[in-house]
Copies of this chain bind each other. A is one copy, B any other.
Amino acid sequence: MGFEMIEKKELYERLDRLSERKIEMYQKDFLQTWEKSIDEIIATFEVANILRSYRFSNISSKIYDSGIAVSVFKDNSTRTRFSFSSACDLLGLYVQDLDEGKSQIAHGETVRETAVMISFLAEVIGIRHDMFIGEGDSYMREFGNALTEAYKDNILPDRPMIVNLQSDIDHPTQSMADFLHLTKHFGGLENLKGKKLAMSWAYSPSYGKPLSVPQGIIGLATRFGMDVVLAHPEGYDLLPDTIDLAKRQSAESSGSFKITNSMDEAFENADIVYPKSWAPYYIMKKRVELLKNNDTKGLSELEKECLTSNARYIDWECNESKMNLTKNRNALYMHCLPADISDVSCKNGEVSKAVFEKYRNFTYDEAGYKPYIIASMILLAKKKDPVQTLKKLFEMSQKRIIA
Contacts and interface: CB of A to CB of B under 8 A. Distances in A.
Given A61-B66, A62-B65, A150-B361, 19 more contacts: A1-B154, A2-B154, A3-B157, A56-B157, A63-B401, A63-B403, A64-B401, A64-B402, A65-B401, A66-B92, A68-B82, A68-B86, A70-B82, A78-B114, A94-B94, A95-B96, A109-B344, A117-B367, A121-B371
The 10 A-B pairs at the shortest CB distance, nearest first, are namely A86-B121, A392-B403, A3-B157, A89-B94, A155-B364, A63-B403, A85-B96, A82-B118, A120-B368, A60-B65
A187 interface: no
A113 B338 contact: yes
A116 B86 contact: no
Contacts of A64: 400-402
A356 B159 CA distance: 23
A399 interface: yes
B109 A341 contact: yes
Given A150-B364, A344-B109, A403-B389, A117 B78 contact: yes
A1 B86 CA distance: 34
A108 interface: yes
Interface in A41-67: 55-56, 60-67
Interface in A340-386: 341, 344-345, 361, 364-365, 367-368, 370-371
A155 B365 contact: yes
A2 to B, nearest CB: 7
A110 interface: yes
Nearest to A83: B120
A90 interface: yes
A66 B62 contact: yes
B121 A55 contact: yes
Nearest to A396: B403
A392 B399 CA distance: 13
28 contacts: A1-B154, A3-B154, A3-B157, A56-B157, A60-B65, A65-B402, A66-B89, A66-B400, A78-B114, A82-B96, A82-B118, A85-B94, A86-B121, A89-B94, A89-B121, A92-B402, A94-B94, A95-B96, A109-B345, A110-B345, A113-B364, A117-B337, A120-B367, A120-B371, A121-B371, A155-B361, A392-B403, A396-B403
Interface residues of A, number: 69
A81 interface: yes
A294 to B, nearest CB: 19
Contacts of A402: 62-65, 92, 396
Contact of A113 (B86, B120, B337): B337
A253 interface: no
Interface string A73-88: 0000011011101100
Nearest to A93: B89
